Amino acid sequence: MSRFPFVKASFPDPALTPQKIRTHLIDVQQRLRDRRAATHPPQDDKDRADPAEELRLTERAYRRADARAKRLHDDILRRSGLSHLNRDEREKLSVLRDGVGLVVVRRGIRTPLLG
């Protein structure tokens, strides 16, 4: 049975949420900060702070990650062509992701039933 594309839209991963994007952004930023701290150690003891305090992200960094994650998620939905739909409607349409199946109707008994 052949498949015919029915919806001209890309279907983003439904598991991709702003919270998951935020978590990823914060993890990346934390790794970068850890790496930077390891390559540039303080020069003397008075410059050394508590290691946990030194490598902790600021509240501003968390707010920026939240805002960026929301913008990225909105952009992904906008590019998909489904941004005007809510999550439930996108899930209902996801069955059409691979297109619809087409069958050949041969002349015969069933043809008049099609109308």
47 lies in some domain:
yes
45 lies in some domain:
yes
Q: pLDDT band for 114, please (50, 70, 90 cuts).
A: low
Instruction: Write out the two tokens for 96.
Output: 């059409």
Largest CA distance in the chain: 92
Identify the pLDDT of residue 21.
95
Question: Residue 30's domain spans which residues?
Answer: 10-95
- Residues 37, 32: Cα–Cα separation, whole Å: 9
**Other Cβ atoms within 10 Å of 69 Cβ, number:** 20
34 lies in some domain:
yes
33 lies in some domain:
yes
Structural domains counted in the chain = 1
User: Mind listing the pLDDT tens digit for each residue in 35-57?
Assistant: 887 765 556 555 555 554 455 78
107 lies in some domain:
no
Nearest to 29 by CA among 7, 77, 69, 61: 61
